[in-house]
Structure 1
Amino acid sequence: MADVRKVEEGLGNTPLIEEEEHNDHHHRKIIKAGKDDKVDNIIGDHYHNEKTEDPDKSVELKESEKQPLIVQKNKRVATLDVFRGLTIVIMILVDDAGGAYARIDHSPWNGCTLADFVMPFFLFIVGVAIALALKRIPKVGDTVKKIIIRTIKLLFWGILLQGGYSHAPDELVYGVDMKQIRWCGILQRIALAYLIVALIETATTKIRPTILGSGRFSIFSAYCWQWLGGFVVFLIYMITTFSLYVPDWSFELLEHHETKRYTVKCGMRGHLGPACNAVGYVDRQVWGINHLYSDPVWKRLKACSPESGPLRENAPSWCRAPFEPEGLLSSISAILSCTIGVHYGHVLIHFKGHAERLKHWISMGLVLLVVAIILHFTDAIPLNKQLYSFSYVCFTAGAAGIIFSGFYILIDVLGIRTPFLFLEWIGMNAMLVFVMAAQGIFAAFINGWYYGDEDNNLVNWIQVHVFNDVWKSERVGTLLYVIFAEITFWGVISGILHKLGIYWKL
């Protein structure tokens, strides 16, 4: 019997266990790379398997004595890496340049800007990766355990980075008052969506089809439990949003060394404005108002401040109130973004032709966009990231589907991969770039080495003297600093780490 060698994978760090039964010999050959761990890394790895015949197994033996060994050669889905890298780049751009260019920053309330695509794009990517990673599940119990462990890791990092403990990169301090710790955030929302969608995918593994039926909608019926889960999520969100009674509420703020109490008058149902929506009410009841995000983007509304300046003296009381943009009810709605991503992954698995995949992806993306536009412009359900409205789910998921299809055409169909290597490298080490760049941990480390004064550090010196002074504009300088000193820098670092085979995975 010919030797069975380890299969070389795209990264060499995600395992592969493939069992091939030979009917005439009644034995099993196992090809194993790494440890038995097929659960996808949330912001990390994903693989798509294509059957290829191993040429080394073609030993000069009689046909009657040997069956050809068919192995699974794992190939990274470059399109998904590139899309993930693009999302990370957009996040860095809007976070660090959004203050200078308000049009790319989060919409104060209704509407959708460049920054508002980041969260749903991440969830869409997570969904696609779940479908690929859980394509085959050797042991359901082990997979469930790994899903729960990874969820806990995401929650831990989310609270650590966005709960208030880290003051990076501006302040050289750390620590948070537990009376005011923020429990919600980006990674926490991803953790919830991942947990629910991955568990549904795992629980339905025994009824998962290997071959689709001939019907046009067979891909939907084959994964009806996933869509049923999405429908339940939709019902919970819609019923709560439009039927929950929101009473008057109050909050306290420390102003000029005095505690001042404000009251917001509500007493209504189905309100989709900043003051009296059910999303905010649920978070105030569940988490407590002191544990919500203290600087919501609605403060840039004209009712609160002129031209995004200080609050008006006669601004409504809710303008000063905290609001959680990654709260509980809105995160339940966000599970739909992940569910749609899982569907795109299922299409990638079952549809083998480029044209067939693209036809389904693009048509679904266009339908979602049309539904969102109708809901928004009829004022039935406006696009709103803060509430994670259903129209917002459809609009951003549709956009994600179209962009994903575009990358697929360029990279997988036309073979144009080199121009996107920069984004691919970032996407392959997305967790590292998210923590170090988007959350400012690396910049905080550099800021810790200052000369005489905390503001006299290398980061500030580069931004002021290399960019702002040269271009004689703080806005332009800020934008160029973000592009070259942050995005380009971390793209190069990610490329070097990729060449060294170093990746940060949860």
Structure 2
Amino acid sequence: MEDSKRLEEGFGNGTKRATIANDQDKKVAETVHGNEEKSRTTLDLPEEQKEEKPLIKHKTKRVATLDAFRGLTIVLMILVDDAGEAYPRIDHSPWNGCTLADFVLPFFLFIVGVAVALALKRIPEVKSAIRKIILRTLKLLFWGILLQGGYSHAPYNLSYGVDMKHIRWCGILQRIALVYFVVALIEALTTKLRPTSLKSGHFSIFTAYKWQWIGGFVAFVIYMVTTFSLFVPDWSFVVYKDDNAERYTVKCGMRGHLGPACNAVGYVDRQVWGINHLYAEPVWARLRACTFSSPGSGPFREDAPSWCRAPFEPEGLLSSVSAIVTGTIGIHYGHVLIHYKGHAERLKQWVLMGVSLLIVACVLHFTDAIPINKQLYSFSYVCFTAGAAAVVFSGLYILIDVWGLRTPFLFLEWIGMNAMLVFVMAAQGIFAAFVNGWYFKNPDNNLVKWIQQHVFIDVWKSERLGTLLYVIFAEITFWAVVSGILHKLGIYWKL
């Protein structure tokens, strides 16, 4: 009886399943038929009615502030590089302190961190992401050595080539490459530890990305311990001039020194790279101890210390380790952008941290504990420039993404979208060198110098003002227009 009952229940269930299956088949058939009818109806519609119901594609909203901030940094670089000689106050500080030029590289590193957080927000395959990170790092190193290693003599010297005994291994792109490699690698390797949502509490975003902060803290400890504990002995160097070689000796024998002569940052670079591979014209030569023309460039004083003539690498190894902290702060701002969707919450996080960093920097600097110093990339300099980047970034975000005042800043966006192109062609003078190659009778009689002299300097009867206006209109404005045209054509140069 039980078997019969089960058999009956089985038949009953089978009948029920068959009925459901038939109903589902019927629905599928109706759906397919309906879709076919819908497709035929759509195809039969006039063109005007077809355009009334376009296919909706969901795209991630691009934060325009990112491109504008990157563009602003490029503009600042062109301004201080090409007008800094006319206005030394905006050029790099000879030693302690911070000028307009000293914000450029930290701003680059800050936005690299923000971009890394957004680019690696979703990683389908970690190994593939790591390969891309390594490849991009190598590309940055290649272009850095090519442009700043001494091979290129742009824009005014039309020769090229470098003696490998004196090639410069460090530079702006090399430092960006190192910082990018470290912060991007940590971001990629910790992808499985990444939270989908944050817990409540102001510090939840810090604990959620603790490995990024641990990486930044390790870099901070390495820099601080090395800077204040490494013993710096006496050292010497040779100055070559008109086939004559003169040797100078710098007396040190100390540790923890933060002056030009005996700091650990310079000592590490001399040991790692060799003194002949360092930057030959450091900005400390504009100090009052070296020249009466300070803060501008000028002949050395007769009583100038020997180190005034020495090479020093402003983008060296130990200082680049400190720069990793700037990239870490930038990647934190990217994480805030990802997890906080409201403008008020984002700005609260950004501004509070930015102001805090500025306060810490000012306390360290004005108490003489750790002076703000770009050449050493001191911790106070990290805090001050990262805090300034945070405030500027927040201000642009309010103007562009919150208030919608995008039009006045479009030229910055265009430059920011083609930052690498403008950096190489404008900031590194490659385009100007190309134009200078077409001269009349002698290399000094070229179009670039003619425009600068006759269109700007002679008209305004001032070399300083004429140089500034030339940089603004013949360089920055020109490249803004070029970048805008390239943007309209969808042409971008990215590594």
Q: TM-score range by the shorter chain?
A: 0.7 to 0.9
Please report the RMSD computed on the Cα atoms of aligned residues, expressed in angstroms. 1.5
Rounded Cα–Cα distance in structure 1 between residues aligned with 2:58 and 2:217: 35
Residue matched to 2:3: none
Whichever residue aligns with residue 206 of structure 1, its letter is: K
Rounded Cα–Cα distance in structure 2 between residues aligned with 1:444 and 1:100: 21
Percent of aligned pairs with the same residue? 80
- Number of aligned residues: 442
Q: What is the DSSP-based 3-state SS (H/G/I as helix, E as strand, rest coil) of the residue aligned with 1:329? A: helix
For residues 98-113 of structure 1, what are the structure 2 equivalents within 5 Å?
Answer: 98-113=84-99
1:258 Cα shift?
1.7
Picking from 478, 484, 488, the partner of 1:489 is 478
> Can you list the C-alpha shifts for 1:56-98, whole angstroms capped at 9, x where unaligned?
xxx99xxxxxxxx997512322101000000000000000000
Residue matched to 2:184: 198
1:254 Cα shift?
1.4
For residues 274-353 of structure 1, what are the structure 2 equivalents within 5 Å?
Answer: 274-307=260-293, 308-353=297-342
1:153 Cα shift?
0.2
1:255 Cα shift?
3.0
Rounded Cα–Cα distance in structure 2 between residues aligned with 1:121 and 1:255: 37
Rounded Cα–Cα distance in structure 2 between residues aligned with 1:418 and 1:189: 33
The structure that is strand-richer by fraction is 1
Residue matched to 1:11: none
Rounded Cα–Cα distance in structure 1 between residues aligned with 2:466 and 2:195: 54
Whichever residue aligns with residue 349 of structure 1, its letter is: I
Residue matched to 2:215: 229
Rounded Cα–Cα distance in structure 1 between residues aligned with 2:134 and 2:215: 18
Picking from 374, 385, 388, the partner of 1:399 is 388
Please state if 1:423 is matched with 2:409: no
Please state if 1:96 is matched with 2:82: yes
Whichever residue aligns with residue 87 of structure 1, its letter is: T
Rounded Cα–Cα distance in structure 1 between residues aligned with 2:222 and 2:271: 17
Picking from 158, 179, 185, the partner of 2:144 is 158
Unaligned ranges ≥5, structure 2: 1-23, 25-37, 40-54
Whichever residue aligns with residue 479 of structure 1, its letter is: L
Q: What is the DSSP-based 3-state SS (H/G/I as helix, E as strand, rest coil) of the residue aligned with 1:175? A: coil
Please state if 1:469 is matched with 2:445: no
1:396 Cα shift?
0.3
Whichever residue aligns with residue 159 of structure 2, its letter is: V
Residue matched to 2:49: none
Residue matched to 2:425: 436
> Can you list the C-alpha shifts for 1:82-141, whole angstroms capped at 9, x where unaligned?
000000000000000000000000000000000000000000000000000000000000
The structure that is helix-richer by fraction is 2
1:142 Cα shift?
0.3
Check the 8 A contact 2:178/2:320 in 1, yes or no.
Answer: yes
Please state if 1:500 is matched with 2:489: yes
Rounded Cα–Cα distance in structure 1 between residues aligned with 2:364 and 2:406: 37
- The structure number with the bigger radius of gyration is 2
- CA distance change for structure 1 residues 70 and 421 in 2, over 3 Å: closer, same or farther? closer
1:257 Cα shift?
2.5
* 4+ runs deviating over 6 angstroms: none
> Can you list the C-alpha shifts for 1:140-181, whole angstroms capped at 9, x where unaligned?
000000000000000000000000000000101000000000
TM-score by length of 1: 0.86
Rounded Cα–Cα distance in structure 2 between residues aligned with 1:309 and 1:457: 27
Residue matched to 1:20: none
Rounded Cα–Cα distance in structure 2 between residues aligned with 1:183 and 1:486: 28
> Can you list the C-alpha shifts for 1:295-316, whole angstroms capped at 9, x where unaligned?
0000000000111311112210
TM-score by length of 2: 0.88
Residue matched to 2:366: 377
> Can you list the C-alpha shifts for 1:395-452, whole angstroms capped at 9, x where unaligned?
0000000111001111111111010001110000000000000000000000000011
Picking from 200, 220, 223, the partner of 1:214 is 200
Residue matched to 2:162: 176
1:256 Cα shift?
4.0
Rounded Cα–Cα distance in structure 2 between residues aligned with 1:292 and 1:395: 26
1:375 Cα shift?
0.1
Rounded Cα–Cα distance in structure 2 between residues aligned with 1:118 and 1:480: 20
